Structure 1
């Protein structure tokens, strides 16, 4: 029985491999590491042994890293694929990005490389369903709202496109946000640390790279609502935007660090990306899940997903974001945003509460049923006074009309006395 993670390093420069061996020597008791100088040897090794993670240079003679990782993706979709590379041009990034889960720039510190590998291994451990592992590791890109794609493309075609208009348009779509974060952390930019802020990423990318990103349509799967009529991508995004702001504002009110506040915002934007994966990849089966929720009001979408897929959107989303190199706090928060009793850090706690608050108070349509919030508040040790302060702070600091403005005091009091509303929503935001 295999107990050690098997990791394969590929680089055509022997001195780089020697340096990696020295850097990672202290992990030799927990990792089974292999070092080869070309893609052919890497494929031969894969034929003999399963590989958990492959870390390959991009620029290599003969079979380069992009071709190797593409082959690995086809032969072993469950293998996590990481590019460890120096400065590369934009064409190489675009050609390789479909086969790469995340990029690491070299040279890099031993501690940083170990952290990235351990993060990827933790992400792999989130899923135990082999079919879902193979599905998620095959994902090239997340769906993009057609209207967002069209608006961004139209602006980019103008003689003098507005970076402000493009940034505002892109920020509306969770799938595009994820792709931008993935791209900004590639070797093309040579940044020493991970960028996890949407605003900073858009500013750093610039118009030319935005144009390459948007026009490279093969990076994205355009979501077509006609394939799943009961699933609304627009409503899902609106929910994600609200949760992002609610989590950020609660963290701000609690005097959390700037880092935690930033992580809350990012986790809120991305917390339901697993629904995009599941709905677009399994449209018929996901329709069954939505129908199950609609016909059984006591069932949540997460419960229906678990029944039909043996996995939930929270785990799928966390796995994908972990593969793409998001911070461990964000990955953990996404994975546990429904499992409040397992929350063990501030980002996860704020996200879980924000998600429940939005589901409970924001009524999307006539058939919308509120979900229970009381249990989560009490389990998170939130009292009525603290919760009232949160709602007041959110309303005062929301940009525009707050969705929580009309909550009467009696409704808040009811949350801490008797649970009367417990039916889950049948909306895709649940």
Structure 2
């Protein structure tokens, strides 16, 4: 991994850069104080990860990130932003991930390490180049990530605290309430406020509804039926959650919710459609998984999204998150799951039960 820090020592202290250099056996680490030196370095050889400070002495960070995207689209771009502030609008869509100052060593190492894992999982340079060239790359779902951070820092966060956080984004809050009252989640009683939504649905379900609200608000590629995509994803999320033990149920639900996110990206192929001769576009499953990896989501989710169309390619040989997402997505789309895979992983006997569950969840949704 070739890693470049761009910015002064106030943002990237010498001891922090040295720590990163010492942590990865194959990590080659450099630092450039300004954008001009960074561009010379970027032009001379390929890089895997570039981290850019909130301010540079000679060029706006957005301009450097834009030049990096044009010259080295395969490079993962991380923007460092001041404190816990929302990323500036001018760099949203240019950076793949955002880290707050002051940089916490463990957060920085996790971010770089996860990108290394992503490259090992999806060893596809052409995929990285194509996704890297997307001019309006979807940005990480900021409210969802803030919600995750709040829950990680306070295991006992109250319904009021969670509702207050979601209410900070009125547009997303409105979409969350709309989904809460959809046929998939409503039990006949209208939910009119976020605190009631948290109390009735639970924090895990509300978190996924926030994620769905943010993701399905992204601009969609031409020809994509966003409403159908959202409906299928919500159904699959509920199915996957029921297929897994409690310890991994939330992972499965989130992965199923995001399984088809690649369809929102331009220049990808819908793998549900027959492969046309000469079509070399990346499939939507791997493209979506790569985007989620750039966002920093957990590796089990990334792997499940990458291989949900072909679960036998997964490194996990047991029926776990990937298997649940594959089966849930197939049933939600009215397709047949891979019965040979389900037989090999020892769960084929549960398929009739899962079919009935899908039908029972679909019936009220259709009626509604």
On the 8 A contact 1:58/1:66 being kept in 2, the answer is no
Inter-partner Cα distance in structure 1 for 2:4 and 2:171: 33
| Residue of structure 1 equivalent to 2:232 | 239
Aligned length, in residue pairs: 318
Inter-partner Cα distance in structure 1 for 2:81 and 2:150: 12
Deviations 1:63-93 (A, max 9, x none): 2433322221122211110123331654x52
On the 8 A contact 2:52/2:78 being kept in 1, the answer is yes
Deviations 1:314-336 (A, max 9, x none): 11110111112222111111001
Let me know the Cα RMSD of the aligned residues: 3.9
| Residue of structure 2 equivalent to 1:336 | 307
- Structure 1's 71 and 185: CA in aligned 2 closer, same or farther, altered over 3 A? farther
Deviations 1:284-306 (A, max 9, x none): xx5xx7xxxxxxxxxx6376179
Deviations 1:217-271 (A, max 9, x none): xxx87447xx53xx533322222221111101222xxx331xx222222211111
On the 8 A contact 2:251/2:301 being kept in 1, the answer is yes
Unaligned runs of 5+ in 1: 143-177, 215-219, 290-299, 363-369, 404-430
Please say if 1:204 is aligned against 2:168.
Answer: no
From 40, 45, 54, the counterpart of 2:41: 45
| Residue of structure 2 equivalent to 1:10 | 6
- Structure 1's 379 and 310: CA in aligned 2 closer, same or farther, altered over 3 A? farther
On the 8 A contact 1:9/1:17 being kept in 2, the answer is no
- Structure 1's 96 and 193: CA in aligned 2 closer, same or farther, altered over 3 A? farther
| Residue of structure 1 equivalent to 2:17 | 21
On the 8 A contact 2:62/2:94 being kept in 1, the answer is yes
Inter-partner Cα distance in structure 1 for 2:338 and 2:108: 40
| Residue of structure 2 equivalent to 1:217 | none
TM-score of the two chains, using structure 1 as the length reference: 0.62
On the 8 A contact 2:332/2:358 being kept in 1, the answer is no
- Structure 1's 350 and 236: CA in aligned 2 closer, same or farther, altered over 3 A? same
Residues 240-249 or 106-115, more deviating = 106-115
TM-score of the two chains, using structure 2 as the length reference: 0.72
Unaligned runs of 5+ in 2: 176-216
Report matched runs for 1:138-287 at 5 Å: 138-139=133-134, 141=136, 179=139, 181-182=141-142, 185=145, 204-207=165-168, 210=171, 222-223=219-220, 227-228=222-223, 231-251=224-244, 255-257=245-247, 260-277=248-265, 280-281=266-267
- Structure 1's 54 and 205: CA in aligned 2 closer, same or farther, altered over 3 A? farther
On the 8 A contact 2:43/2:71 being kept in 1, the answer is no
Higher relative contact order (CA 8 A, sep 6+): 1
Inter-partner Cα distance in structure 1 for 2:143 and 2:134: 15
Report matched runs for 1:398-409 at 5 Å: 398=361, 401=364
Deviations 1:341-387 (A, max 9, x none): 2331722221122122333xx3xxxxxxx435422321321142x33
